[in-house]
Amino acid sequence: MIKHFFRMGMAGLAALSFLASCHKNEQPAPVPPTPEVTKYSLKPLSEMTLKEKVGQLFNVRPEILSPESTGYVTKGTEAMTDFFKDYPVGGITIFAGNITNPTQLKNFTSFLHDLGNYPMLCIDEEGGRVARIAKNTQFNVPVYQSMESIGKTGDSKNAYNAGDAIGTYLMNYGLDVDLAPVSDVNTNPNNVVIGDRAFGSDPVLVADMASQFLKGLKHAKVEGCQKHFPGHGDTSTDSHYGYAESMKTWEELSACEMLPFRKGIEADTKMIMTAHISLPNVTGEDTPSTLSKTILQEKLRGELGYKGIIITDSMGMGAITKQYSSGEAAVRALEAGVDIILDPEDFREAFNAVMDAVKKGRISMAMIDERVTRVLELKKSILQSRGLLK
């Protein structure tokens, strides 16, 4: 009996010994390597050349960096890197044609950010009919019928959630600024350009919805851009193709169109896009608001107290190109108070005209430095929010 228990004991010890040895020799599960996070530095204003400063005031399509291309550009090339050295633009706007699939877009935005001094990447992702990513079936992202449909719910939380959701996927794909929300009040039934892109025709509703959309974007670490100041909702023509105007007085605009912009400014909007519409009953002339000191400096900066970036709508639109050369329009926009010139019809002409205007004293270096400082501050804010600033 004793021998039997001894044998059982020895067997048990052997089993325990085997289990212990197995446990001892087990290898821990491999830990996947932490992906390397690229961090970026920004060149201080004091170290920038005039060319680098002027470059910060332009935002262009990727195709501008690739003059040899015959269609939309979807990947980086050595030629683009070389072009950027001569024309170091501060921002680039991605369009639907520049996007094929998620992997391509991530690679492309990474290439563009690496060009130097962190070009700020923008996109029109309003939700609805203007959505460069959401309308591409290769992407599994939220799709919205329109901002008007969100406005009809009457609940601004839905606008916040839309901004947060859109901002989240934009940030994941390397975009910095959403050129949204549309903050126009859609009061003119004959309007052919805004329509359901706006949250509605009630200025108080639009103000609530637009400000919450901005907050949703910001929560996702993406900056928004209110458009189109001073309001494109009461026009009956499309500034993409030619002259557009509103006959409202400033008092009428203040009671309607200005409400969303005022509330957006209270919500710390960092960027406002101009409309190329004329306001003859405000300015006494038919100059597009984009080129009007009265509208941008006296009204937006002065009366509304806005301190962020003013970016033009595309300077390749008919309301500009049918009246001004690319060079003259760019210079006039800066004189009016603009910080960023978007998509000029002839980029090199516009760039060189601004350079020449500074050298000849038409535009002061102090003005250039003031505008560039705003751009650099926004870039720094974006990078800091994402933990990407060196």
Other CB atoms within 10 Å distance of the CB of residue 154: 12
Q: Give the per-residue pLDDT at 240.
A: 59
What confidence tens digit (pLDDT) does each residue in 109-158 have? Answer: 999 999 999 999 999 999 999 999 999 999 999 999 999 999 999 999 99
Nearest to 340 by CA among 296, 287, 303: 296
- CA–CA gap between residue 81 and residue 70 (Å, rounded): 18
Domains of the chain: 51-385 (3.20.20.300)
Retrieve residue 158's tokens.
């839905």
The letter for the amino acid at 282 is: V
Q: Cα–Cα distances in Å, from 136 out to 71, 101, 140, 336?
A: 18, 8, 9, 37
Phi, psi of 109 (to 5 degrees): -65, -35
The letter for the amino acid at 376 is: L
How distant is the alpha carbon of residue 327 from its chain centre?
24
Nearest to 92 by CA among 174, 13, 29: 174
Task: Give the count of alpha carbons within 13 A of 57, CB side only.
Answer: 27
The catalytic position among 234, 313, 339, 343 is 313
Q: Inter-axis angle of helices 156-172 and 203-219, to 10 degrees?
A: 30
The catalytic position among 196, 202, 240, 346 is 240
The letter for the amino acid at 244 is: A
Q: Inter-axis angle of helices 258-266 and 203-219, to 10 degrees?
A: 30
- CA–CA gap between residue 76 and residue 50 (Å, rounded): 26
Nearest to 184 by CA among 125, 240, 260: 260
Retrieve residue 306's tokens.
């806005």
Looking at the chain, list the stretches that DSSP marks H as alpha helix, in order from N- to C-terminal side.
Answer: 2-25, 50-56, 78-86, 102-113, 147-153, 156-172, 203-219, 250-255, 258-266, 280-283, 293, 318-321, 326-336, 347-359, 365-385
- 313 counts as catalytic: yes
- CA–CA gap between residue 262 and residue 106 (Å, rounded): 35
Buried b / exposed e along 192-229 (16+ C-beta atoms within 10 A): ebbbbbbbbbbbebbbbbbbbbbbbbbebbbbbbbbbb
**Residue 1 has what DSSP assignment?**
-
- CA–CA gap between residue 99 and residue 134 (Å, rounded): 11
Global confidence as pTM = 0.89
From first to last of its 390 residues, the chain has per-residue pLDDT tens of 434 433 444 444 443 343 333 344 444 455 555 566 889 999 999 999 999 999 999 999 999 999 988 899 999 999 999 999 999 999 999 999 999 999 999 999 999 999 999 999 999 999 999 999 999 999 999 999 999 999 999 999 999 999 999 999 999 999 999 999 999 999 876 765 788 999 999 999 999 999 999 999 999 999 999 999 999 766 655 555 556 889 999 999 999 999 999 999 999 999 999 999 999 999 999 999 999 999 999 999 999 999 999 999 999 999 999 999 999 999 999 999 999 999 999 999 999 999 999 999 999 999 999 999 999 999 999 999 999 999
Tokens 């009630």 — which residue? 202
CB 65 within 8 A of CB 348: no
